[in-house]
A and B are shown apart, each in its own frame.
Chain A
């Protein structure tokens, strides 16, 4: 009898994530969900719908649009938003847009700082959000292994890794001063495999770029960069070619590396992932500098 009353690891992770989201909504006045359109965001959104069923989401989604996202991502985002079961805020750093801050004339760090990190901080300030859900997982990167589920940010949105609140049992401390905020990571304990399995089990819709397809690409710094629109600046010796590729992570198209793959279904992607020898973030050019890069970015207020 009791065997029937056991949860699998995915069901347990789901129940814990729902619990975390409900805590935030019960305790904070003005939460928001940082929505990146990627697969982790898709899982986060699905869990949020479960947490607040049968109601509409009690918080908006915030997408920081750098203006350099893949066309497919924006189309996917807008199609989801049309269903109107959540409110969507799209925020762009207009100053950066006017100054034409782009991933070609600026190095990846500067570009990310201005169009992503600064934009996010400005959006959080503008709408006075006091809690922000993010889809970060602890298994993604070494410095994230010590991130709390509820992570305090000061009034400058900065993270102090040496001064984190102890987090015990399932008792989360969301008490903050005015001007501070809490970043909340309901997927902290999920691994990449968990995410894919959950997408498969629940039939969650994800951006088609995750599936292999013939796409126009150029080889750059050892990875395939997709020529997503005519703003892509080609080097003199570069000529786009058609390859069957897919993306393991999505971001700004000039900075997101594709892998050659024929995996066009979820089981194929999961199979490929299990035998892959390259970890997930390698496709993101922004992380290539130093081992401690993410730690530095986070202290500055990046996700």
Chain B
């Protein structure tokens, strides 16, 4: 067992920290460093696991070993470890990740928390998602903006219902890269067979999911083994550490440059001589002179300028926030979508979608809700419940409502047509939230799967 002193010594800096002995007056070096660090990419990933899988410990370890924990936080950690850490003299890394007072007292994480750390090549945002069964909504929330998921499994327990549930939600939210961290290897004697058995079992069950990349790492998060530093207790494992996998995971797959898409957030008309359409480009590239179609109206026009405060752009591309001016005086308003003529998303007032329900009051048929998609809020209702998904077994059951933390496939009828795509093809154009018209609460989240055969085996 490592004490505090040994842990502190084992703390290494990732390459982000400057070569400390460099003279800071070497401005050229600093400028090079800053120029280089400006070029780093962003990777957003989520961590999910059951209450006792050691997820917070893993995150604490990533922050600590990548030197993201400052001295005064470390002092607080040592103090809190003594207070809350069940009497031992070891650092409770979980305390670095556990935020709110109530959570520390209960010893569980109850809401999505965001953490930040960096290496010399990447900036990372971690969505730390609670694992308890009633918090499906938090997992969906955390997963919605992520490109990769780290799923924790306790080596002592193997693949549990919760593992299946987390994996299913990760898949449903369209994440295709998964790192499975088989944790607490120290408690199973660093046994290779245990690791292999869990790995095989996971691969077997996840075959039906849409993951394109599944990696496995045997980990002892408490001691930082195979998190940032390789373990000396598991020589049989020749693969990469968690951080190495994160460093080389592909970020944002190359988009289709031909098909431009931008939903208008705001008509920008600050003076008589300027009228532009502000929004974030969500797909493709746009250049002055390019033809665009306004949806849902179908009117055609040409882009004149791609305006930013840093000057007009020769080409705007996803995911930049820009303001476009067009050559014709058309009626274009917030919520309209500008697309290349070759790109033809669906325009309809009805579609099918998987809905994650998040409110205590059940989702009922024929009750009006607000559906917010992109920059549009439209009144609508559930016209039909197709099935409910058992997140533990992936079985489909018939249903006539959805309770909190349930997921179901429904048919939605809106009062006005909207522009959309299947979530599997375009997360931005295929997602929506459901808002209660009286309480204003966000009560559900949906992923459109309109072209899916309801009997197919995929969700």
Stretch at the interface among B231-239, B316-324, B387-395: B316-324
A54 to B269, CA, bound (A): 9
- Contact of A295 with B100 at beta-carbon distance under 8 Å, contacts A173-B435, A275-B18 already known: yes
Please determine whether B141 and A167 come into contact, CB atoms closer than 8 angstroms: yes
Contact flags B59-84 to A (C-beta < 8 A → 1, else 0): 00000000000111100100010000
Chain B 102-144 interface residues, beta-carbon cutoff 8 Å to A: 102, 110-116, 118, 122-123, 125, 128, 137-138, 140-141, 144
B112 touches A271 (CB 8 A): no
Are B319 and A50 touching (Cβ within 8 A)?
no
Give the segment of B27-35, B199-207, B218-226, B449-457 that binds chain A. Answer: B27-35
Whether a CB of chain A sits under 8 angstroms from the CB of B380 is: no
Instruction: Say whether B458 faces chain A, with CB atoms less than 8 Å apart.
Output: no
Expressed in whole angstroms, the Cα–Cα distance for A275 and B116 within the complex equals: 17
Query: Is A165 in contact with B308, judged by CB distance below 8 angstroms?
Result: no
Are A7 and B320 neighbours in the complex by a CB distance under 8 Å? yes
Of A19-27, A92-100, A124-132, A233-241, which binds chain B? A19-27
Is A60's CB within 8 Å of the partner chain B? no
Q: Which residues of A contact B315 (CB under 8 A)?
A: 5
Q: Chain A's nearest CB lies how many Å from the CB of B322?
A: 9
Q: Interface stretch among B183-191, B208-216, B409-417, B439-447?
A: B439-447
Query: Is B445 a contact partner of A168 (Cβ separation < 8 A)?
Result: yes
CB–CB A274/B114 < 8 A: no
Which B residues are CB-close (under 8 A) to A139? 115-116
Cβ-closest chain A residue relative to B137:
A166
- B180 in the interface (beta carbon within 8 A): no
B70 nearest CB neighbor, chain A only: A279
Q: Contacting chain B: which of A29-37, A68-76, A105-113, A140-148?
A: A140-148
Residues in B neighbouring A145, C-beta threshold 8 A: 99, 113-115, 128
Contact of B442 among A11, A173, A278, A282 (CB under 8 A): A173
In the bound complex, residues from chain B placing their C-beta under 8 Å from that of A271 are 18, 24, 30
User: Within the complex, what minimum Cβ distance (angstroms) separates A201 from chain B?
Assistant: 6
Count how many pairs of residues, one from A and one from B, have CB atoms less than 8 Å apart in the complex: 199
A173 to B123, CA, bound (A): 27
Q: Is there an interface contact between B441 and A165, defined as CB atoms closer than 8 Å?
A: yes
Q: A166-B141, A267-B27 are in contact. Are A50 and B308 (CB under 8 A)?
A: yes
Minimum distance in angstroms from B63 CB to a CB of chain A: 10
| A 37-63 to B, binary, CB cutoff 8 A, 1 in contact else 0 | 000000000000111111110000000
Stretch from A185-193, A213-221, A249-257 contacting the other chain:
A185-193
Contact A168 B141 (CB under 8 A): yes
- B20, B140, B268, most chain A CB atoms within 10 A: B268
Q: Are A197 and B37 in contact (CB under 8 A)?
A: yes
Decide if A191 touches B116 in the complex (CB within 8 Å).
Answer: yes
Closest chain A CB from B295 CB (angstroms)? 18
B358 adjacent to chain A (CB < 8 Å):
yes
Asked if B431 and A25 make an inter-chain contact with CB atoms under 8 angstroms apart, the answer reads no
Q: Which residues of A contact B306 (CB under 8 A)?
A: none
A146 touches B113 (CB 8 A): yes
Chain B residue numbers with a CB within 8 Å of A83 are none
A67 contacts partner chain B, Cβ-Cβ < 8 Å: no
Contact between B141 and A9, CB atoms less than 8 A apart: no
B255 CB contacts on chain A under 8 angstroms? 2, 5
Among the stretches B150-158, B160-168, B241-249, B367-375, the one at the interface with A is: B367-375
- The answer to whether B4 has its CB under 8 Å from any CB of chain A is no
Given A26-B334, A146-B113, A295-B100, check contact A191 B138 (CB 8 Å).
Answer: no
Cβ distance B23 to chain A, nearest Cβ, rounded Å: 10
| Interchain nearest-CB distance for B30 vs A (Å) | 4
B428 contacts A by Cβ under 8 Å: yes
Selected interface stretch from B39-47, B296-304, B342-350: B39-47
Residues on the B chain within 8 Å of A54, using CB: 270-271, 274, 307, 309
Residue of A whose beta carbon sits closest to that of B123:
A9
Minimal beta-carbon separation of A164 from chain B (angstroms): 7
B70 touches A164 (CB 8 A): no
The residue on B at minimum CB distance from A56 is B270
CB distance from B172 to the nearest CB of A (A): 12
Q: Are B358 and A166 in contact (CB under 8 A)?
A: yes
A5 with B372: CB separation less than 8 A: no
Q: Cβ of A53: which chain B residues have Cβ within 8 Å of it?
A: 307-309, 323
Q: Is A169's CB under 8 angstroms from B321's CB?
A: no
Q: Which residues of A have CB within 8 Å of B118?
A: 191, 193
Asked if B432 is at the interface of the complex by the 8 Å CB criterion, the answer is yes
A51 to B265, alpha carbons, bound, how many Å? 11
In the complex, how many angstroms separate the beta carbon of B128 from the nearest chain A beta carbon?
8
A291 touches B321 (CB 8 A): no
Q: A residues within 8 A CB of B42? A: 9, 12-13
Do B71 and A277 touch (CB < 8 A)? yes
Whether, in the assembled complex, A177 has its beta carbon less than 8 Å from a beta carbon of chain B, the answer is: yes
Across the interface, name the chain A residue whose C-beta is closest to B138: A166
- By a CB distance below 8 angstroms, the chain B residues around A292 are 100-101
A1 to chain B: which residues have CB within 8 Å? 257
> B145 an interface residue at 8 Å Cβ cutoff?
yes
Report the separation of the CA atoms of residues A146 and B141 in the bound assembly, to the nearest whole angstrom.
12
Tell whether A146 pairs with B18 under 8 Å between CB atoms, given A54-B307, A171-B433, A295-B101: no
| B268 close to A52 (CB less than 8 A) | yes
**Set B80, B285, B370, B433: member contacting A168, Cβ < 8 A:** B433
- Complex alpha-carbon distance, A193 and B257, angstroms: 32
Q: In the complex, are the beta carbons of B441 and A26 less than 8 A apart?
A: no
Cα distance, A245 to B112, chains bound together (Å): 38
Q: Say if the beta carbon of A176 comes within 8 Å of chain B.
A: yes
A291 touches B76 (CB 8 A): yes
- What is the chain B residue whose CB lies nearest that of A196? B34
Check: B397 CB closer than 8 A to any chain A CB: no
**B51 contacts the other chain (Cβ, under 8 Å)?**
no
Within the assembled complex, what's the spacing in Å between the Cα atoms of A161 and B110? 10
A164 to B72, CA, bound (A): 29
CB-defined contacts of A270 to chain B, threshold 8 Å? 30, 34
Is B272 an interface residue when CB atoms closer than 8 A count as contact?
A: no
Closest to A263 in B: B24
Q: In the complex, which residues of chain A have a beta carbon less than 8 angstroms from the beta carbon of B352?
A: none
Let me know if A229 is at the binding interface, CB within 8 A: no
Indicate if the CB atoms of A25 and B34 lie closer than 8 Å: no
With A22-B278, A53-B323: A9-B40 Cβ-Cβ less than 8 Å: yes
A78 within 8 A of B: no
CB of B49 to closest CB in A, whole Å: 18
B378 beta carbon closer than 8 Å to chain A: no
7 A-B pairs closest in CB distance? A55-B270, A279-B70, A267-B30, A277-B71, A53-B309, A18-B321, A9-B42
| A–B pairs, 14, beta carbons within 8 Å | A26-B265, A52-B270, A55-B268, A138-B116, A168-B140, A168-B145, A168-B445, A170-B280, A175-B440, A191-B116, A267-B31, A270-B30, A274-B16, A277-B70
Assuming A19-B321, A277-B71, what are 9 further A-B pairs, CB within 8 angstroms?
A5-B315, A12-B42, A16-B321, A23-B265, A26-B266, A55-B268, A142-B98, A171-B431, A276-B70
